[in-house]
Structure 1
Amino acid sequence: MPRLSITTSRGLGGKLQIGIQYSKIARKYDQIRFGDELGRKKSLGDAIIIRRLMFPLSNGLVLDLGCGTCRISKVIREVSEESMLVGLDISREMLSVCSEKNVTDLLILGDSEKLPFREESFDVVVSYRLLSLPVDWERIVSEVSRVLKVGGYFLAEIGNSMSIGGISNGIKKVLGRETNYRTLHIWKFLKVCEEQSLFPVKIVGMHHIPGRLVPRKFLDLWLETELRLGNTLVKFLASRLHVLLMKEVS
């Protein structure tokens, strides 16, 4: 069982509400999000992409930022068996679920916008789902750069504002309809990253199609097609983008 370290972060504000909301569904989160066949295929697609992008990164000190129930931590552990894996999340209950999976070496209750680590501590930082929440994503990118070693890698998943879902989300905001799902323009994201000495190595897209549009017998074909499209120019219209960046000397 991984050691659970409790840290206190000041000024959580709205982020504390995010933690509370996720704590309410922590025990059911994996089932809600990935319990059906389509959800499992989506999770498998994420895992395949992570394995491909992280394969050359191998060992070292790895931080899973916004680790939740450690769905992604489990994949990281499979790719990087010898690494020291640290998970950080703002929800105590999500971390409790994560600890039961026994895939991390250390779990920390803390704030992704104010990381409790020294400069240049990690070889790899991974962030999935986190940047799609109502957080200060630019602050998080800055913190990632601070704690990442020069030559280290940042693997981030973002919602794509250029996708159909991203455009729909933008229209909702213009109409004043509240949404907790954030999408980012890839070029703005890369610009902010470059300002923090994080430069793109590879970008892979994932075209998530609503489950009702995919007959069950075509799920395998759908996943294979998504993975192929993710490496073409069509990726810039994908629902979600997996972005691998490397920290260079500023």
Structure 2
Amino acid sequence: MADQAQAGLPDKRQVAASFSRAADSYDSVAALQRSVGAQLLARLPTGLAPRRWLDLGCGTGHFSRALGERFPAAEGVGLDIAEGMLRHARPLGGARQFIAGDAECLPLRDESCDLLYSSLALQWCGDFQAVLREARRVLRPGGVLGFSSLCVGTLQELRDSWQAVDGFVHVNRFRRFADYRQLCGASGLGLLSLESRAEVLHFADLRSLTHELKALGAHNLNPGRPGGLTGRARILALREAYEGFRQPQGLPATYQVVYGVLRKEPY
């Protein structure tokens, strides 16, 4: 059974296509993604020594390479739903293999991994309960799932600015933090830590923000988004609304980042 956020999340085929198109531009604008992924690495339990790890939603493979350096004796696998990202990642190495797959239905054997690492990918999964179920299936006893994701409050400034302009869906929807807490608590995995932290980026102008979202492949993918080009008058109104949030550092864009670490209990 899908969790309650599923109906508002984008179609996986659109997600895969959007991130495939963004593969060549992603790393040039992924400073937040690198920072969050590094913080997730730092949250993994000390003394962890996996024989096999999975970078779930590996993207361009930046953290596959980081995991390969951290655990040089382990076999690594990178997995992503976007084939364009995998084509970018494979020549750069880090993992022994890079495969296409879905976090809600992993193409891996039962109890075949000691670490599942997933940074800023699982927010695109409509059924987070299925993700956790698959993690429990694939992890060996004592294995760890470490993930970062996004929750409600992400890009709230942009959402509120659009709300002042029209009633359409222009900003990606995300789960509530309470949903993550409830689903993790009911997963059958031991919850080592779960927290939400705000990360605020600043941009010189609205165009810089929207350019970054497009380069990341993370622009509006929601069902119910308006079709066609956005009219000039609405863009001008959006700019005016967003200017109300301006800070000395620039226009803020807040990301509410969820960090979770769970462990499959030993038998």
Do the structures match in fold with TM over 0.5? yes
1:184 alignment partner in structure 2: 176
1:244 alignment partner in structure 2: 261
**Secondary structure at 1:207 match in 2:** strand
Alignment of 1:68-107 (within 5 A): 68-107=59-98
Q: Distance in 2 between matches of 1:82 and 1:204?
A: 31
**Secondary structure at 1:208 match in 2:** strand
The C-alpha deviation readout for 1:16-43, integer Å capped at 9, x for no partner, is 2211111111111111x32xxxx2x762
* 8 Å Cα contact 1:205-1:241 kept in structure 2: yes
Measured after TM superposition, the shift of residue 170 of structure 1 is 9.9
Give the greater-gyration-radius structure (CA): 2
The C-alpha deviation readout for 1:86-134, integer Å capped at 9, x for no partner, is 0111111100111121111111112221111121111011111122225
What residue ranges of structure 1 are gaps of 5+ in the alignment?
A: 1-12, 217-236
Alignment of 1:40-119 (within 5 A): 43-44=34-35, 46-119=37-110
**Secondary structure at 1:209 match in 2:** strand
What residue ranges of structure 2 are gaps of 5+ in the alignment?
A: 1-9, 204-246
- Over 3 Å counting, the alpha-carbon distance change for 1:144 and 1:68 in structure 2 is same
Pick the aligned partner of 2:119 from 115, 128, 131.
128
Q: Distance in 2 between matches of 1:195 and 1:84?
A: 30
- Over 3 Å counting, the alpha-carbon distance change for 1:121 and 1:142 in structure 2 is same
Measured after TM superposition, the shift of residue 176 of structure 1 is 5.5
**Secondary structure at 1:140 match in 2:** helix
Q: Distance in 2 between matches of 1:122 and 1:170?
A: 42
Pick the aligned partner of 2:13 from 16, 31, 38.
16
2:26 alignment partner in structure 1: 29
Q: Distance in 2 between matches of 1:168 and 1:81?
A: 42
Q: Which amino acid counterpart does residue 185 of structure 2 have in structure 1?
A: E
- Over 3 Å counting, the alpha-carbon distance change for 1:154 and 1:49 in structure 2 is closer
What RMSD, in angstroms, separates the aligned Cα atoms of the two structures?
Answer: 3.2
Q: Distance in 1 between matches of 2:161 and 2:189?
A: 30
* 8 Å Cα contact 2:49-2:71 kept in structure 1: yes
Q: Of the two structures, which has the highest relative contact order with CA contacts closer than 8 Å and spacing of 6 or more?
A: 2
Measured after TM superposition, the shift of residue 157 of structure 1 is 0.5
- Over 3 Å counting, the alpha-carbon distance change for 1:26 and 1:181 in structure 2 is farther
Measured after TM superposition, the shift of residue 203 of structure 1 is 3.7
The C-alpha deviation readout for 1:144-173, integer Å capped at 9, x for no partner, is 111111211000102133x57569869989
Give the TM-score normalised by the residue count of structure 2. Answer: 0.67
Q: Distance in 1 between matches of 2:202 and 2:74?
A: 35
Q: Alignment identity in percent?
A: 24
